[in-house]
Chains A and B, each alone.
Chain A
Amino acid sequence: MKLTTEDKLSLLAGSAKYDVSCSSSGSENNYKTGELGCAHTSGICHSFTSDGRCVSLLKVLLTNVCIYDCAYCINRVSNDTPRTAFTPRELADLTINFYKRNYIEGLFLSSGIIKNEDHTMSLLLQTLRILRHEYRFNGYIHVKLIPGASKELIEEATLLAHRVSSNIELPSSKSLALLAPDKTKEKLLSPLKHARDITLQRSAKPISMSTQMIIGATSESDFEILKLSSSLYEKALLKRVYYSAYIAVNNHKHLPVPELSKPPLLREHRLYQADWLLRFYGFSYDEILSENQNLDIQFDPKTFWALSNLHLFPIDVNHAPQEILVRIPGIGIRGALKILQARRFKKLCFEDLVNLKISLKKARYFIIAGKDFHRSSSLYTEKIKLALIHQGSNIIQPTLFDTSIYTGEL
Chain B
Amino acid sequence: MILLYDGSFEGFLSLVYEVYYEKLQVNSIVKKMPETLLFERFHEIFTDEAKAGKVLDAITKHFTKEQQHTIFHIVLCDTRDYEMALLEYLRIGFKNKKELRNINNTNLFYIQNLEKELLCLVHKMYGFTRFEELEDGTLYAKIETKFNIVPFLGEHFCKRLGNIPFIIHDVKRALAFVKNNELREIRSIASFDAPIYSSEEEKFKALWKSFFKAAAVESRYNPKLQKSWVPLLYRTYMSEFMDDI
Mark interface residues in A43-66 (1 if CB within 8 Å of B CB, else 0).
011111111111110111000000
CB A33 to nearest CB in B, in angstroms, measures: 8
**B219 near A247: Cβ-Cβ < 8 Å:** yes
- Interface segment among A4-12, A225-233, A294-302, A388-396: the answer is A4-12
CA distance A357 to B116 in the complex (A): 13
CA distance A136 to B164 in the complex (A): 13
Q: Is B204 in contact with chain A by the CB < 8 A criterion?
A: yes
**B160 near A49: Cβ-Cβ < 8 Å:** no
Mark interface residues in A239-263 (1 if CB within 8 Å of B CB, else 0).
0000000011000000000000011
**A103 near B126: Cβ-Cβ < 8 Å:** no
- Interface segment among B26-34, B187-195, B207-215: the answer is B207-215
**B219 near A263: Cβ-Cβ < 8 Å:** yes
CB A195 to nearest CB in B, in angstroms, measures: 26
**A52 near B126: Cβ-Cβ < 8 Å:** no
Q: A52 and B225 in contact (CB under 8 A), knowing A31-B159, A356-B109, A400-B220? A: yes
**A101 near B139: Cβ-Cβ < 8 Å:** yes
Residue among B141, B161, B238 having the largest count of chain A Cβ atoms under 10 Å = B161
Q: Is B24 in contact with chain A by the CB < 8 A criterion?
A: no
**A44 near B127: Cβ-Cβ < 8 Å:** yes
Q: Is A17 in contact with chain B by the CB < 8 A criterion?
A: yes
**A17 near B161: Cβ-Cβ < 8 Å:** no
Partner among A5, A40, A50, A344 whose Cβ is within 8 Å of the Cβ of B223: A50
Q: Is B58 in contact with chain A by the CB < 8 A criterion?
A: no
Which residues 136-151 of A have a CB within 8 angstroms of B? 136, 139
**B104 near A346: Cβ-Cβ < 8 Å:** yes
CA distance A59 to B211 in the complex (A): 9
When distances are taken between beta carbons in the complex, the residues of chain A under 8 Å from B132 are 101
Q: Is A383 in contact with chain B by the CB < 8 A criterion?
A: no
Partner among A17, A344, A355 whose Cβ is within 8 Å of the Cβ of B214: A17
CB B13 to nearest CB in A, in angstroms, measures: 28
CA distance A112 to B147 in the complex (A): 45
When distances are taken between beta carbons in the complex, the residues of chain A under 8 Å from B215 are 13-14, 17, 49, 53, 55, 59
Q: Is B240 in contact with chain A by the CB < 8 A criterion?
A: yes
CB A176 to nearest CB in B, in angstroms, measures: 23
Describe A's contact surface by its main secondary structure: loop
Q: Is B60 in contact with chain A by the CB < 8 A criterion?
A: no
**A47 near B222: Cβ-Cβ < 8 Å:** no
When distances are taken between beta carbons in the complex, the residues of chain B under 8 Å from A139 are 160
**B164 near A100: Cβ-Cβ < 8 Å:** yes
Residue of A nearest to B244 (CB): A50
Q: Is A94 in contact with chain B by the CB < 8 A criterion?
A: yes
Q: Is B131 in contact with chain A by the CB < 8 A criterion?
A: yes
CB B237 to nearest CB in A, in angstroms, measures: 11
Q: Residues of B at under 8 Å CB distance from A?
A: 101-104, 106, 109, 113, 120, 123, 126-133, 139, 141, 157, 159-164, 200, 204, 206-208, 210-226, 228-230, 238, 240
Q: Residues of A at under 8 Å CB distance from B?
A: 5-6, 9-11, 13-14, 17-18, 31, 34-38, 40, 42, 44-56, 58-60, 94, 97-98, 100-103, 105, 136, 139, 247-248, 262-263, 265, 338, 341-342, 344-346, 352, 355-357, 397, 399-400, 405-406
5 CB-based A-B contacts, threshold 8 Å: A47-B128, A60-B211, A101-B208, A263-B220, A341-B101
**What are the 8 closest A-B residue pairs judged by CB atoms, nearest first?**
A52-B225, A49-B216, A51-B220, A13-B214, A36-B162, A48-B229, A46-B127, A14-B214
19 new A-B contacts, CB < 8 A, other than A101-B131, A102-B129, are A9-B214, A36-B162, A44-B126, A47-B212, A47-B230, A50-B216, A51-B216, A51-B221, A52-B225, A52-B226, A52-B229, A53-B220, A98-B208, A101-B208, A102-B130, A263-B219, A265-B220, A341-B101, A355-B104
